[in-house]
């Protein structure tokens, strides 16, 4: 199964944000073990580097994000994705539209995000980390 993991889920994992940590950890572990084929949008890396500056040293941020790049396929933002996303007025947040374009390019089965409402216009089904883990358990996948 192919998934794109949204920035907020990656931040839940890094910052151990409760009550979201457990589901985020399960998803990242399944991607690390290559049970799931996971991707993140390239834009997530500089976004997280900036957001994490308040809590984590520059050296540690570099290490953490480097490790995530090892675990996940990094889907690039290119001219085609930008030209599809810019005129798309169905999304309130341009960043979310770019996430969806990256998921489509990656041929993701799902976008994993806590902000389901922000993806109401997505062509890719969106599911929360907890709902995704519950779905995997229902299908007999050990999480």
H and E: helices and strands count for the chain: 7, 5
User: What is the reported pLDDT for 143?
Assistant: 54
- Average pLDDT score over residue span 1-9: 97
What is the chain's percent helix, strand, coil content, to nearest 5? Answer: 55, 10, 30
User: What is the reported pLDDT for 141?
Assistant: 59
Structure confidence by residue, pLDDT tens digits, 114-141: 999 888 889 899 999 999 999 998 877 5
Whole-number mean pLDDT of the chain? Answer: 93
pTM, full prediction: 0.91
Structure confidence by residue, pLDDT tens digits, 79-103: 998 888 878 787 877 888 899 999 9
Contact 139, 36 (CB under 8 A): no
CA distance linking residue 81 with residue 100, whole number of Å: 9
Structure confidence by residue, pLDDT tens digits, 46-81: 999 999 999 999 999 999 999 999 999 999 998 998
pLDDT exceeds cutoff 60 at 2: yes
Measured between alpha carbons, how far is residue 93 from residues 31, 85, 115 in Å? 27, 10, 11
| Residue % of the chain over a pLDDT of 70 | 98
Q: Which two tokens stand for residue 114?
A: 């806590």
Instruction: Using alpha carbons, select from 43, 44, 59 the residue that is nearest to residue 13.
Output: 44
CA distance linking residue 98 with residue 58, whole number of Å: 26
3-state secondary structure (DSSP) of residue 4: strand
């Amino acid at each position: 199964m192919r998934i794109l993991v949204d920035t907020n889920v990656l931040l839940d994992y890094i910052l151990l944000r409760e009550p979201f940590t457990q589901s985020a950890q399960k998803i990242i572990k399944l991607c690390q073990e290559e049970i799931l084929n996971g991707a993140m949008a390239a834009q997530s890396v500089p976004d997280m580097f900036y957001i994490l500056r308040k809590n984590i040293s520059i050296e540690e941020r570099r290490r953490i994000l480097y490790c995530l790049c090892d675990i996940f396929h990094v889907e690039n933002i290119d001219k085609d994705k930008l030209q599809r996303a810019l005129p798309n007025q169905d999304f309130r947040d341009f960043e979310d539209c770019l996430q969806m374009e990256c998921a489509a390019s990656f041929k993701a089965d799902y976008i994993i995000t806590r902000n389901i409402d922000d993806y109401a216009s997505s062509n890719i089904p969106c599911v929360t980390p907890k709902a995704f883990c519950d779905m995997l358990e229902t299908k007999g996948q050990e999480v």
